[in-house]
Amino acid sequence: MQVLVCLYVCVCVWWTLAGSSGFPFNEGRRLALTSRECICNLWLVLKERRAAHFSTEEEEEEEGAMALSLIPACRSLALSTWLLSFCFVHLLCLDFTVAEKEEWYTAFVNISYLDPATSEVRTEKTECGRYGEHSPKKEAKGLALVPTLPQDRQACEPHVRFPPVSHTSASWVALVAAGNCTYREKIRNIATLNASAVVIYNTGSSSPNETITMPHPDTGDVVVIMIPEPKGREIVALLEQNIAVTVHITIGTRNLQKYVSRTSVVFVSISFIVLMIISLAWLVFYYIQRFRYANARDRNQRRLGDAAKKAISKLQVRTIKKGDKETDSDFDNCAVCIEGYKPNDVIRILPCR
């Protein structure tokens, strides 16, 4: 799903870039064509000064409008790129937040036994257990038993043996240590002996009171919990003194833990970096085209100015003298300044075409 969203966003960004990249080139070609037409028709422009003046103003307005049209195009494209980037990263983060969840339940462990020194029944209830991932979340009760042989305390052997229960109908709870094999193997070895629950105490952990949510698929309906190592060794010590211990397991607190895995962080980071590179590449491309367009416009303007000066310099220059026909009142006025000629005026003779 994340890959499809990434491809969709990249295609949208690329389509937007491709759709807007042709704008400067089209305007550059139109400007070059206008420049060539102006050079070819220079004599006509000089002959009809008024029309040329208004035409120049229209061209300047057109160029100004063209330059201004680049601004909203830039803003809209930049906004769309950043908006797509934000939405894409937001969707990824939401998806990973939903995917990376762990639901687990604590378990109340109530142990009761007869103290041989005082002949009193002692009861201890603590919320120190945690249900296994695939364990049914329900109560369980029975006499606590450990494997008969000390080397089988981890219940990794298929034929592990436990002390017999006094009554065949009495329920019992297996107490074994973690390690040496998978949780699934331990539980399946014990489930064949009809235990009502399996209590695994954690061993070798950096924290003495640490418990985890054990994965144990395909282990049936047996209740499975984990308790801290000190609590497990406390019960084992009582059993080694031939003290009968009854364990009562009840459901505790529901917990919902959210976390982001390293793979998710790397994927989101790479996706965001790719979109940032696309945005930066577009900005570089845009400013390069803008610089080229400005240089082309300046070159065309300079070329126009040079061509106009060169054309004007080739026109024949003449000084009006007193008595010339141009000084007559019925002679035509100046075609450029729309005024009559006076003696000592320096004029340029325009070719008639």
| Of residues 337 and 26, more confidently modeled | 337
Q: In Å, how far are 25, 48, 129 from 308, measured between CA atoms?
A: 26, 14, 95
**How do residues 52-66 score in pLDDT, each as one tens digit?**
444 444 444 444 544
CB of 261 closer than 8 Å to CB of 100:
yes
Q: How confident is the model at residue 12 (pLDDT cuts 50, 70, 90)?
A: low
Domain borders along the chain are 2-98+264-314, 101-258, 316-353
Helix (H, G, I), strand (E, B) or coil at 181: coil
256: left (phi over 0), alpha (psi -120 to 50) or beta: beta
| Of residues 60 and 318, more confidently modeled | 318
Q: How confident is the model at residue 223 (pLDDT cuts 50, 70, 90)?
A: very high
| Of residues 22 and 202, more confidently modeled | 202
Q: How confident is the model at residue 332 (pLDDT cuts 50, 70, 90)?
A: confident
Average pLDDT over residues 230-242: 93
Residue 268's CB is within 10 A of a number of other CB atoms, namely 18
Residues 6+ apart with CB under 8 A from 279: 78, 81, 82, 85
pLDDT of residue 28: 38
Helix (H, G, I), strand (E, B) or coil at 324: coil
Highest mean pLDDT among 2-11, 58-67, 189-198: 189-198
Average pLDDT over residues 265-274: 84
pLDDT of residue 102: 77
- Rounded distance, CA 334 to CA 352, Å? 14
Burial of 98 (0-12, 13-18, 19+ CB in 10 A): exposed
Burial of 52 (0-12, 13-18, 19+ CB in 10 A): middle
Q: Is the pLDDT of residue 258 over 90?
A: no
Q: Is the pLDDT of residue 111 over 50?
A: yes
Instruction: Point out which residues pair with 129 in neighbouring strands.
Output: 107
Residue with tokens 């002959």: 47
**How do residues 63-95 score in pLDDT, each as one tens digit?**
454 444 555 555 555 555 556 555 555 555 555
Q: Is the pLDDT of residue 139 over 70?
A: yes
Strands 197-201 and 172-177: parallel
To 5 degrees, how large is the angle CA 204–CA 205–CA 210?
140
- Rounded distance, CA 272 to CA 82, Å? 10
How is residue 203 annotated by DSSP? -
Q: What is the CA radius of gyration of the chain?
A: 46
CB of 320 closer than 8 Å to CB of 343:
yes
- Rounded distance, CA 295 to CA 274, Å? 32
Across the chain, mean pLDDT equals 76
| Of residues 52 and 163, more confidently modeled | 163
Instruction: Point out which residues pair with 199 in neighbouring strands.
Output: 175, 225
Average pLDDT over residues 323-335: 75
Q: How confident is the model at residue 26 (pLDDT cuts 50, 70, 90)?
A: very low
Estimate the crossing angle of helix 2-40 against helix 49-99, to 10 degrees. 170
CATH of 101-258, one of 3.10.180.10, 2.30.110.10, 3.30.9.10, 3.50.30.30: 3.50.30.30
Q: Is the pLDDT of residue 37 over 50?
A: no
